Chain A
């Protein structure tokens, strides 16, 4: 399995210009300085709004920080927050469970929907662009509070869905307010926002060289065989990319759970996602030290999951130079 870049993307670093720079060290230093200067707004932003707050939160995770008290009252508690989390907090494990259920169901289904629609839209027909736009629209709106509110009203007892079901004489229930279906409506909302991975899949599909399909047809392959033996392997790097991104995304679901449950994770904790529990701990119960510890456990877990995905990727992701 060879790992090389696609020929379609020329590498700007290579070529005569790069060699020239390497040959003139004085210029090189000037370029660097200017480069950092241009980067400085970003670097400053990274340090101030990401790196430093993260370090502070790491420190806070070993303390009893409660937001309201003064900094001088902060006490170092060592690993106590982490210990409580793993041994003495049923709500923590419940939130882990809810989040896993959400991510494990929503992510594959969302990717499946994205790939399916991308395959349909990859054909050229009149108005294909319009459809692409329409299918992409939900992802543009998806993270917003407004959509979650609309979702809430659709799946309410008196909502649009039940009105629709009523035409067929079916009496629906209050989907968002029932503990057995509330998480389901959140998953559905996540799946509906398949536009972003779909666009990436579409781009990937366009890159599959038509010669491969032609060759497969000559060998007598049907549509399904072509999909299995040409499309999927050629698309695997894109699938991998989407999988990693959407898994991380799945773990981080917050807005929809917050809005649909009115910020409580209810009914009966059925939508108590990890991030929501973290928020409630920090801002509702003023246990910001504990919430910080939760954040770090979360970060490490996502890092671990991503690492595992990368490890397995070696066995099924097929990087190819295409028609070379």
Chain B
């Protein structure tokens, strides 16, 4: 390292560290005093998740009184900004929740601890996991995160409103065309737009691509062409023209806000395109009864996806303890009972069976029923999205909204997205 860089590094460190020191954040001292370990733990989610997670961690502390937790949680929006900032200051949490939008970004930059050795020594037990599920956490031959929960795409619909208007409910296996026709009819009957427009939603586009024999990614390359994007945008332009979807501004609102403000919750459409495990959280935010089915088309295009991961910070001081905690959360029957399906179906199959048998939450039951139904149909899982995926997602929203607001034709919007996405994955 050259001298000026050393100096800069020192100065930067001073600039970062001094305010912390001034504020008296002597966290490290506290955490090792008297054999006690304090682990920092950071996740995104709603209040329900916060309560459950805290209960499970309290259980861990009651069994290991020398380990305590400093937990922080917030909504998904802004979560990754904060995680990035903490990481930049070498102050990332010991354990943090991450999803496949960012796993490759963090893993390729060596922020996450490689958990392979813990897995091999059995300290991190994945023997009860479906193999495809834990392998989801492997990026460049390193186990970057422990898959915590399994989920799949789910189309949530407002059962109460549909039944009140004597409308059919959507069914797994209906074609995209069927759905749009259904939405048009149901929309007229209920006076609420029939379906949210998912053209900005990468996971819906992904399922549709697989049904057409394509993929979203082949390794770190795009698995589709500009024409595919255009067809996708045109499909939904047709739906908009047929008044089967809300107006562009409402769609934008759904795209820009978190799970609790999806169109099916706010009553601005009869459906929302989500992950099946989000059902309970969505259900908590509306009085209407909701149902969930697979996305339209052949359901075998859907796959069992790791809903999220727990990763251990490579720069943390208590990595062994951190690994023990995530192992506990994933494999302890009592912890599994507390956590339920909040983060997706439990990865540990024994616990999954146990939770499915004992849960009383109707929303959780509906989400389990969908996954059970699809379990035999699931197609092969694609690999974890490559670095640049978060940018690709943003670009899809941008282009799809431009088409929705008619500032671009589907053709031009597709062109814009395709070239931006190509740049994002290659850059």
Point out residues on A near B: beta carbons under 8 Å: 48-49, 52-53, 55-56, 59, 66-74, 157, 173-174, 177-179, 261-264, 266-269, 283-286, 288
CA distance A56 to B5 in the complex (A): 10
User: What are 24 A-B residue pairs whose CB atoms fall within 8 Å in the complex?
Assistant: A48-B19, A53-B12, A55-B8, A56-B11, A68-B106, A69-B110, A177-B249, A177-B253, A178-B248, A179-B401, A262-B256, A263-B81, A266-B256, A266-B398, A266-B401, A267-B252, A269-B398, A283-B80, A283-B81, A283-B85, A285-B390, A285-B391, A286-B84, A286-B109
- Most A CB contacts (10 A, CB to CB) among B110, B249, B255 go to B249
A53 and B111 within 8 A (CB): no
Chain B's interface: helix, strand, loop or mixed, by majority? helix
Q: Is B15 an interface residue (CB 8 A)?
A: yes
CA distance A72 to B5 in the complex (A): 9
**Residues in chain A near residue B249, CB distance under 8 A:** 157, 173-174, 177-178, 267
**Residues in chain B near residue A52, CB distance under 8 A:** 11-12, 14-15
**Residues in chain A near residue B58, CB distance under 8 A:** none
* Residues of B70-124 whose CB lies within 8 A of A: 77-78, 80-81, 84-85, 87-88, 105-106, 109-111
B252 and A48 within 8 A (CB): no
Expressed in whole angstroms, the minimum distance between the Cβ of B119 and any Cβ of chain A is 23
Expressed in whole angstroms, the minimum distance between the Cβ of A49 and any Cβ of chain B is 7
A283 and B110 within 8 A (CB): no
Known contacts A67-B84, A68-B88; decide if A268 and B109 are in contact (CB<8 Å): no
A284 and B106 within 8 A (CB): no
Point out residues on B near A: beta carbons under 8 Å: 1, 5, 8-9, 11-12, 14-15, 18-19, 77-78, 80-81, 84-85, 87-88, 105-106, 109-111, 247-250, 252-253, 255-257, 390-391, 394, 397-398, 401-402, 405, 407
**Residues in chain B near residue A263, CB distance under 8 A:** 77-78, 81
A177 and B14 within 8 A (CB): no
CA distance A269 to B413 in the complex (A): 13
**Residues in chain B near residue A49, CB distance under 8 A:** 15, 19
Q: Looking across the interface, which residue of chain A has its beta carbon closest to that of B257?
A: A262
Expressed in whole angstroms, the minimum distance between the Cβ of B192 and any Cβ of chain A is 14
Expressed in whole angstroms, the minimum distance between the Cβ of A278 and any Cβ of chain B is 13
**Residues in chain A near residue B394, CB distance under 8 A:** 264, 284
- Most B CB contacts (10 A, CB to CB) among A59, A74, A267, A283 go to A267
B18 and A177 within 8 A (CB): no
**Residues in chain B near residue A286, CB distance under 8 A:** 84, 105, 109
CA distance A74 to B78 in the complex (A): 25
Expressed in whole angstroms, the minimum distance between the Cβ of B402 and any Cβ of chain A is 5
CA distance A53 to B110 in the complex (A): 25
Expressed in whole angstroms, the minimum distance between the Cβ of A236 and any Cβ of chain B is 41
**Residues in chain A near residue B5, CB distance under 8 A:** 74
Expressed in whole angstroms, the minimum distance between the Cβ of B105 and any Cβ of chain A is 7
CA distance A73 to B110 in the complex (A): 11
CA distance A179 to B85 in the complex (A): 30
Q: Looking across the interface, which residue of chain B has its beta carbon closest to that of A58?
A: B8
A56 and B401 within 8 A (CB): no
Expressed in whole angstroms, the minimum distance between the Cβ of B214 and any Cβ of chain A is 26
CA distance A262 to B87 in the complex (A): 23
CA distance A56 to B11 in the complex (A): 8
In addition to A48-B15, A267-B256, 16 A-B residue pairs with Cβ atoms within 8 Å of each other are: A48-B18, A49-B15, A56-B15, A59-B8, A67-B87, A68-B105, A69-B110, A174-B247, A174-B250, A178-B405, A262-B256, A263-B77, A263-B81, A268-B401, A284-B394, A286-B84
Q: Looking across the interface, which residue of chain A has its beta carbon closest to that of B18?
A: A48
Contact of A264 among B18, B85, B250, B397 (CB under 8 A): B397
A283 and B84 within 8 A (CB): yes
